[in-house]
Structure formats: C-alpha cells, structure tokens
C-alpha cells in the first residue's frame, strides 16, 4: 500500500517531465532502463563532464535543491557520489567499477537513487561513454531489483523520466 502511494506521489511530482519508452523490462520485483544519446563532445571531454555531477545533474532531483552540492570523490572503486549541504548529506552511490580503453569509458555505481533509497532496493547504474566519430555515444543502463510487494513496475516510468532528463543534460552542455 505504501509503495503504491509512493509511486502515485512520484508520478504526480514528475508529471511535467517527458516520459520516454526506455524501460526495457519492468516487473513488480524490478526493472531495467536503457538510454542512449550522442554528444558532439569527444569521449574524453564527455567523460570529464560526467565526472563533474554538479555541471549536469538537475537541481530538481537533489535533496538540497542545489546541484552544486553534488560531488564525486573519485572515479575509481570506492569513490562516492555525495550531496552535502548545511544540515544534511546523502550518499547517492558508490563507484564499483571504472574502466578506460582507447576512447571508451565506463563507470558503474551501486546507486539506489532518490526515493528508491528509502524502500531498500538494490540498484546499479552504468554510464558508458564511447568515441563515435568526432563525438561520443553516451549510454545509461539502470537495473533495479527488490521484492514483488514493492510494485517496482509502477515506479519504472517515473525513474525513466528522471534519468532521461539527466542524460539529456549530460550530453547537451
């Protein structure tokens, strides 16, 4: 009951966001989102932009209301995606993998983002940035798993809308 209420509240809160069809799979116990965009930036510059979360993450999707409070301590296993402000702090995710080879970059976070953190799900966000001609291809894959009573399929479109906004902001400086 509480999860259904939460998904309704989230749906109303994010109703103004464009919802895309990037939910690959959804079930009551989990979902998968896959987003792809192209960027005019070469992969090394797009990767550097990705690592500076405050430059592209929407302040509307922070706890403090200010993206300047976001930081990534390092892009290596153990690095922390944190938000810190006077009166609070949140660990949004932890880097569990980071790889670079010949213009291709991948960072993977253990990251139950936003309200998913409060319902105890497991979530992994992978951001891949690959050289594509003069520019780059940016991919976000998000896998969320939990218990069937959490009705995660109801939440998937809302999370998709939020991540769609973020990837669009990342590739459009």
Q: Report domain extents, the chain.
A: 2-12+25-171
**2-12+25-171: which CATH topology?**
Alpha-D-Glucose-1,6-Bisphosphate; Chain A, domain 4 (3.30.530)
Q: Residue 88's pLDDT is what?
A: 97
Local confidence band at 173 (pLDDT 50, 70, 90 cut-offs): confident
- What's the Cα-to-Cα distance from 170 to each of 82, 115, 117, 159, rounded to whole Å? 18, 22, 23, 16
Query: By C-alpha distance, which of 94, 98, 128 is closest to 111?
Result: 94
- The pLDDT tens digits of the residues spanning 65-116 come to 999 999 999 999 999 999 999 999 999 999 999 999 999 999 999 999 999 9
Cβ(139)–Cβ(36) under 8 Å? yes
Residues 6+ apart with CB under 8 A from 38: 132, 135, 136, 137, 138, 171
Local confidence band at 61 (pLDDT 50, 70, 90 cut-offs): very high
């Amino acid at each position: 009951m509480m999860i259904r209420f939460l998904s309704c509240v989230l749906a109303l809160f994010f109703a103004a966001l464009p919802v895309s069809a990037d939910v690959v799979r959804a079930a009551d116990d989990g979902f998968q989102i896959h987003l792809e965009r192209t960027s005019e930036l070469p992969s090394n510059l797009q990767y550097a932009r990705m690592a500076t979360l405050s430059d592209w993450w929407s302040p509307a999707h922070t706890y403090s209301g200010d993206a300047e409070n976001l930081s990534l301590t390092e892009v290596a296993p153990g690095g922390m995606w944190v938000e810190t402000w006077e009166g609070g702090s949140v660990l949004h995710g932890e880097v569990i993998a980071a790889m670079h080879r010949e213009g291709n970059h991948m960072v993977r976070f253990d990251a139950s983002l936003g309200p998913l953190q409060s319902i105890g799900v497991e979530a992994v966000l992978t951001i891949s940035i690959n050289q594509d001609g003069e520019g780059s291809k940016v991919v976000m894959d998000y896998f969320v798993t939990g218990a069937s009573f959490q009705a995660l399929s109801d939440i998937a479109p809302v999370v998709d809308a939020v991540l769609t906004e973020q990837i669009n902001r990342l590739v459009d400086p």
